[in-house]
Amino acid sequence: MGSGKGSEVRQEYPKHPFQLSIDQLKEHLGVHPEQGLSASEATQKRSQYGENKLMGEGGVKWYSVLLKQVSNAMILVLLLAMALSYGVSDYVEGGVITAVIVLNVLIGFYQEYQAEKKMDSLRALSSPTATVLRNGVVDAIPSAEVVPGDIVQIKTGDTIPADIRIFEAMNLECDEKILTGEALPVAKDPEHDFTNATELETGVGDRVNMAYSSSTVTKGRGQGIVVFTGMHTEIGKIAQSMQGTKRKANRSMSRKKGGNLQPAKGLILRIYDAIGAFLGLTVGTPLQRKLSKLAYVLFGLAILLAIIVFGVNRFDVTNEVAIYAISTGIAMIPESLIAVLTITFVSGMTSMRKRRVLTRKLSALEALGGITNICSDKTGTLTQGQMVTRKAWIPGVGIYTVNNAEDAANPTHGTITLGTEKSRAEMEAEKKARQEKLEAERSGGGIKFKEPKEKTERDVRRAVNDFDEKSDSDDMDPKDVEVVPELDAFLHSTALCNLATVRYNDSEQKWQTTGDPTEVALQVFARRFELGKKQLEGERGWKQLTEYPFDSTVKRMSVVYKVPDDGSTIIFTKGAVERILDLCVNVGIGAHETAITDEVKEQILEQMSLLADQGLRVLAVARRSWTGEPINEKSEIPREDIEQGLTLLGLAGIYDPPRLETKDAVRECTNAGIRVHMLTGDHPGTAAAIAKEVGIIPKDMSTLPKDVADSLVKTAAEFDGLTDEEIDQMPELPLVIARCAPNTKTRMIAALHRRGKYAAMTGDGVNDGPSLQAADVGIAMGLAGSDVAKGASDIVLTDDNFASIVNAIEEGRRMFDNIQRFVLHLLTSNVGEVVLLVCGLGFQDDRKYSVFPLSPLSILWINMLTSGFPAFGLGREKASYNIMSRPPHDNKKGVFTWQIIFDMVVYGLLMGMLTLFTFVIIVYGPGDGKIGQDCNKSYSPDCDVVFRARAAVFAELTWLILISAWEIKGIRRSMFRLDPRSESRFPFFADIWENKFLFWSVTVGSVVVFPCIYIPGFNTTVFKHKEITWEWALPIVAVFIFVLGMELWKLAKRTFGWFAAPDEDKVDGRRKHGPLSLRQGFFSFSRTNSLAKEPSAGQGSELTAVTSGHSPRGLGPIGKKEDV
């Protein structure tokens, strides 16, 4: 549904509303803040500007999904074959093909339509109602009815219904993460003067007198005037920019660009683009395009074969000759391929749905299998989207660090370590010593490091997780930490100078929080030690006397409390470090109390800088005793008199922590040859720190060549300031881009495409929408994701779990491997049939008409049933044990690698020649070459030998196709030892029983041959063959020869190294026995060799992860490839 009538009309202003004063805006809109719009004015404006909706909120259209299924290359080819069958009055064959088409279309339509309907259930309007002032009365109306000029009232918890210019605010803060990617709320200031600012220089997140549609109010209250609605809001602009992101630009028809011939040339190229898109030759995933081309190539070959059939029969086109021609053409086309492919995709989608991944398009999982790069937003995707107190520096005591906080709201999750305070000089000295040791270990050009056996898993984890200072204690439960007086004072201040609440909901059995995210983080930290505000006020009797709320101008807040023990008064203050420090006279308490001098102040600021360098937002916490006049809620003591003479209790470092599973997911992606790029709106220091913590970039960047290190972390301004040519010359594309804008993300994806990469984009915010659609695979978050992000995506993670991406990629790779298997299986049988039928043209009866060695219905039976069910079984093969330890497959080659093509030809020729020999032996052996007449029409005694020969060929071809399915389970490995890890001396039966569907498909298919040959009437009328006796020996012998031939071909490939051996067929000896590579985060690098540009898909990378216990598959210590 669009935005309604008049949706293209946009409210115009002399300047952008954030640059106008409130008086100018009131005058321009003709609005009265005390009365609001009248009902008639609101109706007129809604008619003029349309409803406050985004395009695409109307749901899925069934006919568009159905049309997409019909406009499929293989379906179009089958439609032509169906028409030809009916044209020659072969209604049985035409009916079978019709059933195949209907089955393919219905399966694809049902699955994709159901996925889209489920997406409709996930979609919801961001703001269902809005509180507006109309006719002087405050009322709640549907947000779709909000119009420019409405006065909107907002408060904590509200979702903002449209873009508004704020004119009144009381401690108002808004969470604009969905729009900007920033984790922290934005404090609003309606009085901020932007008169001299420009629209380009002042980003959306910096316009503090504006509030935007779909953002939420986290604190305070306010009022504003609606300035933009619907598609003209900031969220609407992003949605608009995505419409056509994936469309190919129209060919130019301007004479200025191409001369006088350009209009005609441009028109021809536009027609070519349209036809190519309709036929599926220029759009879709690599597999879709390859299969479309294959369908038309096979169709062309089918026509060529039909012409050959007509030529051999002297172009005397009788119905029998036409049927033979159609049969030869049909033998060239794998009728069951689309059905098998569709059902395989449906099975994969069902499997992923159980793992909380909703696939919106059947092709998405196949595309995931070839992903080489993932471009991910940070906030809410790699991180939890919630703030956590990561570190607390207590003067004279040390640094308390929170580790393994699985849930930011849960104070019972995580452990505490206590580290020693260190100056920057001490840390630099330690870093230099480690670097010198590293250089010494690099002697000889290799990087090797043997880890002591006694090194525990916890030590390894800490080596990766910890920031630069070392811990002096083991991980401890917060309840076991000794709360020294200095820590006790710090916790009292963070808990009491705080408006957030933390409580356990018994009914939902989870921790819940309310309030500002920063204050929630501090409250949870205090609660870890059982010193939260609830405990202090409720159990210990602390009583608040008054509050001095946070003020953005002074950047601090204070509370005054009465001490329960002696009735004295204490003031607690927290805020920006510089502002608090200026008010402090001492630092520390008790034995560690020290007067603040310039030197001490410098040391404190250095400690703040060290925390900030780790990507933490740093706050100062202080207190003082009050000995002045009594204080209560009615006291009018200026805050300047209260907030002075303070004692600094410590610094708190807060950040948005990574999701617990993110590190493992990133490590597994890197081990699979997939680069993870972080594209975030956060500060560069914060972005780099998170990237190091989850393993996207090395912890110690000094171990890299300088040009590589400089390229890995960029700001959006730096990246956007480069031309495309300069970006293409970078040794590595950035793995981290901070202060990222939507345009930066789409430029990054374009740069990846220019390097031949296949990119996925993950995200949940509106700002991720354009890049989700520009990427080859868009991955949205289902719970926290915006409607725009979900609508732009190809798959949706219904649990917002980043690790689910690894499951989806693994499923995509498994499906790709299985698609290769069943495509090889189906096309091998097609090649065998074509060889048999083309060579069979030489078998002519007394009237010189060709006699087919296999009837048309036999061909359809074999193509649809005999080949189809084993192909389904191959599509259900489980993933190989090390499928995520190899590089992505080459998307340019796709399924049809040279190995698959040669296998198809070799196996098909062998199959065709064996069946041809069987036919020849029977006809020209005991049959003495007597073929008879009209054997293509019906049975007669003269055709007895031909019908017996057809029966033997039918049985033989059936068994060869079925046994080839078991052989193709391992493209290179012997059927008798498919799993190289098996310790069994003869694992054949265990291997074939593992895939039970395939086992029963082969078994039942082999047995069904007998009734097809022996049922009277059915055999001679439908299949045009009859029962046989001694001829059974020929198919049995042929099966043994065929298996021997396939085994010898595989042996030759393994022995002579023909084609690239899939990584799954090799045993990674280094995984079990090799030394560990030197770890830099998760990475192994050579500092002496500058890295080359990113390799093409499937070629590995020098910038490669090193997982626990082994190097990446196929890579030596310095990125050198090995065959293990």
Cα(82)–Cα(924) distance, rounded to whole angstroms? 35
Residue with tokens 């000889």: 444
pLDDT (mean) for 417-435: 65
Residue with tokens 């189809």: 868
What pLDDT score was predicted for residue 455? Answer: 37
Min mean pLDDT across 3-7, 478-482, 489-493 is at 3-7
Of residues 882 and 116, more confidence is placed in: 882
Q: Identify the band that residue 1066 occupies on the pLDDT scale cut at 50, 70 and 90.
A: very low
Residue 377 annotated among the catalytic residues of the structure: yes
Q: Identify the band that residue 787 occupies on the pLDDT scale cut at 50, 70 and 90.
A: low
Q: Which helix (H) or strand (E) holds 873?
A: helix 868-875
Of residues 442 and 460, more confidence is placed in: 442
Of residues 406 and 1062, more confidence is placed in: 406
pLDDT (mean) for 191-211: 84
Cα(374)–Cα(89) distance, rounded to whole angstroms? 54
Residue with tokens 């260190």: 422
Q: Identify the band that residue 788 occupies on the pLDDT scale cut at 50, 70 and 90.
A: low
Which one of the listed residues 90, 150, 377, 817 is annotated catalytic? Answer: 377
Please provide residue 6's backbone torsions phi and psi, each rounded to the nearest 5 degrees: 75, 20
What pLDDT score was predicted for residue 653? Answer: 95
Centroid of chain to Cα 441:
38
Strands 129-134 and 1083-1084: unpaired
Of residues 56 and 239, more confidence is placed in: 239
Is 484's pLDDT higher than 90?
Answer: yes
The dihedral sign for the CA sequence 281, 282, 288, 293 = positive
What pLDDT score was predicted for residue 530? Answer: 92
pLDDT (mean) for 690-700: 90
Residue with tokens 């395939």: 998
Cα(365)–Cα(818) distance, rounded to whole angstroms? 12
Q: Identify the band that residue 462 occupies on the pLDDT scale cut at 50, 70 and 90.
A: very low
One-letter-per-residue 3-state SS of 945-1006: HHHHHHHHHHHHHHHHHHHHHHHHCCCCCCCCCCCCCCCCCCCHHHHHHHCHHHHHHHHHHH
Q: Identify the band that residue 659 occupies on the pLDDT scale cut at 50, 70 and 90.
A: confident
pLDDT (mean) for 942-952: 92
Rg (the chain; Cα; Å): 36
Domain residue spans of the chain: 17-51+126-242, 353-384+662-804, 388-422+469-655, 843-873+903-1058
pLDDT (mean) for 896-917: 95
Cα(303)–Cα(291) distance, rounded to whole angstroms? 18
Is 1063's pLDDT higher than 50?
Answer: no
Q: Note whether 219 and 515 are within 8 A (CB).
A: yes
Q: Identify the band that residue 603 occupies on the pLDDT scale cut at 50, 70 and 90.
A: very high
What pLDDT score was predicted for residue 600? Answer: 93
Of residues 1109 and 761, more confidence is placed in: 761
Min mean pLDDT across 246-250, 664-668, 694-698, 1057-1061 is at 246-250
pLDDT (mean) for 34-43: 88
Is 647's pLDDT higher than 90?
Answer: yes
Q: CA distances (Å), 262 to each of 84, 146, 247, 302, in order? A: 40, 48, 21, 37
Is 270's pLDDT higher than 80?
Answer: no
Q: Note whether 825 and 867 are within 8 A (CB).
A: yes
Q: Note whether 1108 and 463 are within 8 A (CB).
A: no
User: For the domain with range 388-422+469-655, which CATH number is right: 3.40.50.720, 3.40.50.300, 3.40.1110.10, 3.30.420.40?
Assistant: 3.40.1110.10
Is 941's pLDDT higher than 60?
Answer: yes
pLDDT (mean) for 933-960: 90
Which of helix, strand or coil describes residue 1077? coil
Is 230's pLDDT higher than 50?
Answer: yes
Is 1073's pLDDT higher than 60?
Answer: no
CATH 3.30.70.1450 fits 843-873+903-1058, yes or no: no
| Residues 6+ away with beta carbon under 8 Å from 641 | 628
pTM given for the model? 0.71
pLDDT (mean) for 869-877: 92
Is 985's pLDDT higher than 70?
Answer: yes
Is 414's pLDDT higher than 80?
Answer: yes
Is 488's pLDDT higher than 50?
Answer: yes
Can you state the angle between helices 62-70 and 91-122, rounded to 10 degrees? 140
pLDDT (mean) for 226-233: 91
Q: Identify the band that residue 421 occupies on the pLDDT scale cut at 50, 70 and 90.
A: low
Q: Note whether 900 and 820 are within 8 A (CB).
A: yes
Q: Which CATH superfamily is domain 353-384+662-804 in?
A: HAD superfamily/HAD-like (3.40.50.1000)
Per-residue pLDDT tens over the stretch 813-833:
998 899 999 999 999 999 999
Q: Which helix (H) or strand (E) holds 737?
A: strand 736-738
Sheet holding 675-679, edge to edge: 357-359, 795-797, 777-781, 759-763, 373-376, 675-679, 736-738, 713-715
pLDDT (mean) for 137-157: 89
Both tokens of residue 752?
Answer: 């990846």
Of residues 760 and 845, more confidence is placed in: 760
What pLDDT score was predicted for residue 752? Answer: 95
What pLDDT score was predicted for residue 1033? Answer: 96
What pLDDT score was predicted for residue 1011? Answer: 95
| Residues 6+ away with beta carbon under 8 Å from 946 | 851, 923, 927, 931, 932, 935
State percent of the chain over pLDDT 90.
32
> CB under 8 Å, gap of 24 or more: what pairs does 741-744 form?
741/203, 741/681, 741/716, 741/767, 742/238, 742/241, 742/767, 742/768, 742/769, 742/770, 742/771, 743/770, 744/679, 744/716, 744/719, 744/720
Average pLDDT, the chain: 80
pLDDT (mean) for 263-276: 69
Is 1024's pLDDT higher than 50?
Answer: yes
Residue 1064 gets which letter from DSSP?
A: G
Of residues 562 and 1085, more confidence is placed in: 562
What pLDDT score was predicted for residue 111? Answer: 64
Q: Note whether 596 and 492 are within 8 A (CB).
A: no
Q: Identify the band that residue 390 occupies on the pLDDT scale cut at 50, 70 and 90.
A: very high
Both tokens of residue 1100?
Answer: 């590995």
Q: Note whether 1077 and 1084 are within 8 A (CB).
A: yes
Min mean pLDDT across 35-39, 154-158, 457-461 is at 457-461
Can you state the angle between helices 485-496 and 517-528, rounded to 10 degrees? 140
Of residues 807 and 62, more confidence is placed in: 807
Per-residue pLDDT tens over the stretch 284-320:
666 767 777 787 788 788 888 888 888 888 787 777 7
- CATH class of the 17-51+126-242 domain in this structure: mainly beta
What pLDDT score was predicted for residue 465? Answer: 37
